[in-house]
Amino acid sequence: MELPPRIGMALVGLGAGAAPHLRSLQDLADQIDLRFAVTRQPHPDRLRPYTGSVQLVDTLEPALQDPLVQAVIVATPPSTHLEICQRCWAAGKHVLLEKPLELDFQRSAQLVAMAEASGLQLGVVLQHRFRQAAVVLQQVLSEGRLGEMQAASVRIPWWRDQAYYDTPGRGTKARDGGGVLLTQAIHTLNLFQALVGVQSVKAASVTQTRLHQMETEDHVQALLVLGNGAPGDLMASTAFYPGYPESIEVIGTLGSARLTGASLVVNFLHGPPLSVVDEGGTGSGANMMDFSHQAHQDVLADFIGAIREQRPPRVTGADALKTHALIDELLRKGVER
């Protein structure tokens, strides 16, 4: 079926996480027709900053029944993803899904299998992969310009105050599926896997600090075996006041690279350094939405391209499932210690 000049879409969920999607939809209005916004509490203010005409509805059904809707953005809590995605694919709609895939690995694997069986697209919003600095570092590593990797580290020293976890469902297994790993660190872990690979977790410490009262973990440290067998290490936290940008460091035989937030510095043993500078926020502190929506816009543009060109999106369900498997291994190792 030939697609129209503007892809018809629906957005499910108008919580805080919907804001960068709405900004992206506004910027891509020449390519996307947002026809529905689905929320249990319909209120026009929740649609800001989107200025186009859109129907606010409190159930998914009108969007699924609209033949002009080709795809659905799902920005609801993880515990709802499986059912919503199943309904979308049954209705012939492509899905762009907010991370994580679902509450646990089993439900996530089931979701990915359903997507594959449907023959429709499943894209996952792991937008750190789309930052310019990350794309440049991926190219440097792919071209072998750092030589053979010797070691790599990933650090997510973020902060969330207790008020964040006092919100019903935050940091619980029933709604979010987990704590810092599945809710915050998943973005950087997915990027780290894409850049250097992770074979296994040698040891891990998974804890809940005295800074938070919550059900799940807020601080994790681990030793890793990277894709080529080199050593790696990890630290992920929401107890690191006041919160600092996440970072990835890679040591190679021909130089080293440091990716800090959305900025990159690569120092080569022979030749001039390379840098990408971005002074924007990363959402690492109390204001979790303090970041540019540009990467979200790039995710959305790639997803629309995948639909039109009938190719996989850059971040697929199978890709996101690998990160969920890594998170599960970190949690298991943390219990074993």
| Residue 1 clears pLDDT 70, i.e. is over it | no
pLDDT, residue 48, reads 82
Q: pLDDT (tens digit, 9 = 90+) per residue, 129-169?
A: 999 999 999 999 999 999 999 999 999 999 999 999 999 99
What average pLDDT score do residues 92-106 get?
A: 97
Query: How large a percentage of the chain has pLDDT more than 90?
Result: 88
The more confidently predicted of residues 21 and 279 is 21
Superfamily in which the 7-127 domain is placed by CATH: NAD(P)-binding Rossmann-like Domain (3.40.50.720)
pLDDT, residue 206, reads 97
| Residue 288 clears pLDDT 60, i.e. is over it | no
Q: pLDDT (tens digit, 9 = 90+) per residue, 34-78?
A: 999 999 887 778 788 888 899 999 999 999 999 999 999 999 999
Select 130-305+316-336's CATH number: 3.20.20.80, 3.90.660.10, 3.40.50.10470, 3.30.360.10: 3.30.360.10
| Residue 289 clears pLDDT 60, i.e. is over it | no
- Give me the amino acid identity at 207: T
pLDDT band at 287 (very low <50, low <70, confident <90, very high): low
Inter-CA distances, 253 with 135, 141, 145, 194, Å: 21, 12, 9, 20
Helix (H, G, I), strand (E, B) or coil at 58: coil
What average pLDDT score do residues 90-102 get?
A: 98
Q: Where in the chain is the domain with CATH 3.30.360.10?
A: 130-305+316-336
| Residue 237 clears pLDDT 90, i.e. is over it | yes
Question: 79 is written with which tokens?
Answer: 């515990």
The reported pTM is: 0.95
Q: Where in the chain is the domain with CATH 3.40.50.720?
A: 7-127
pLDDT band at 337 (very low <50, low <70, confident <90, very high): low
Rounded distance, CA 83 to CA 151, Å?
Answer: 41
